[in-house]
Amino acid sequence: MPLRIPDRLPAIEILKKENIFVMDSTRAHQQDIRPLRIVILNLMPIKITTETDLIRLLSNTPLQLEVFFMKLKSHTPKNTPIEHMMMFYKDFDILKKMKFDGMIITGAPVELLDYEEVSYWEEMKEIFEWAKTNVTSTLYICWAAQAGLYYHYGIPKYPLEKKMFGVFKQKTVDAQLPIFRGFDDLFAMPHSRHAEFRRCDIERDPRLQIIAESEDSGVSIVMARNGREFFISGHLEYAPNTLDNEYRRDKDVRSDVEIPRNYYLDDNPDNPPLVTWRAHANLLYNNWINYYVYQETPYNIDDIR
């Protein structure tokens, strides 16, 4: 089934050119199907890029999904036109009156700040608390994973001496979990972050389960509440050129920028990137939607607790 996304969202035309079938809201309402409601809290600076990356992955499920975009009332993004935000995004104050089958909370460029120093931290705490009883399953990505683990379980973050930047092999800890159906023993995941959470802290809390990790990049996926929460330290949603764009942007303004590891052919930035994570990214999102959202959510969405 196609995605139901807002009419005229820029991602529609981008994904159609990639031969991905999406359906705008006008056409979707003509079908008598109860779609799964997915809400995306997009905290990334360039909203349109992140929208497209996530919709690309969500489009692979055979289930019909209705996608909503949430924005913060306490923060105005600087890198996305206000017209785009007004047309396609709704404030948390509006969306919190609804229930959702699934939620995705993205990373944000505030890793080096203490959580309490983030201007929108109070609103984030309210959203985290709301998601516990109004969403069947939530994916927390990168900074959101750090912040979610801190808010829900008191797990601290630690600044890194240098940026974790590149594509790193991850090992599944429990390959029998439905989230890993179809996975190989090792899978690649892009990372671009300045902080980490650590195994020793997570292991102290029996409510948390480390389900994937790497010798190079550390803990990569933590599961809680039997799959109602997933905390992902990297970026499986990244498009092939995202790390390349970050590298070329930063090296032009700073002298300490390193080449992303395990990313370019022969580790040479004059060569094109090697995309080694796309298949597992599609599998993970498909498995999440099927086994942790669709199979677990009640038929009557208002029964989510």
* Distance from C-alpha of 205 to C-alpha of 224, rounded to nearest angstrom: 10
In one-letter notation, the amino acid at residue 111 is E
C-alpha distance from residue 164 to each of 114, 142, 155, 189 (Å)? 19, 11, 19, 12
Query: Of the listed 66, 142, 196, 280, which one is catalytic?
Result: 142
Which has the closest alpha carbon to 9: 57, 45, 55? 55
Query: Of the listed 152, 191, 235, 280, which one is catalytic?
Result: 235
Q: Which residues are CB-neighbours of 42 under 8 A, at least 6 positions away?
A: 50, 51, 54, 69, 70, 71, 89, 106
As beta bridge partners, residue 221 has 212, 232
8 Å CB contact between 167 and 265: no
Would you give the DSSP letter of residue 75? -
Q: Tell me whether residue 235 is one of the annotated catalytic residues.
A: yes
SS3 assignment, position 138: strand
* Distance from C-alpha of 70 to C-alpha of 39, rounded to nearest angstrom: 7
> CB-based burial of residue 281 (10 Å sphere; 0-12 exposed, 13-18 middle, 19+ buried)?
buried
Query: Of the listed 66, 213, 237, 280, which one is catalytic?
Result: 237
Rg (CA), the chain: 19
Instruction: For Cα atoms 285, 293, 189, give the angle at the middle one, nearest 5 degrees.
Output: 20
Q: Reduced to 3 DSSP states, what percent helix, strand and coil does the chain have, rounded to the nearest 5?
A: 35, 25, 40
Name the residue with tokens 């023993």: 185
Task: List active site positions.
Answer: 142, 235, 237
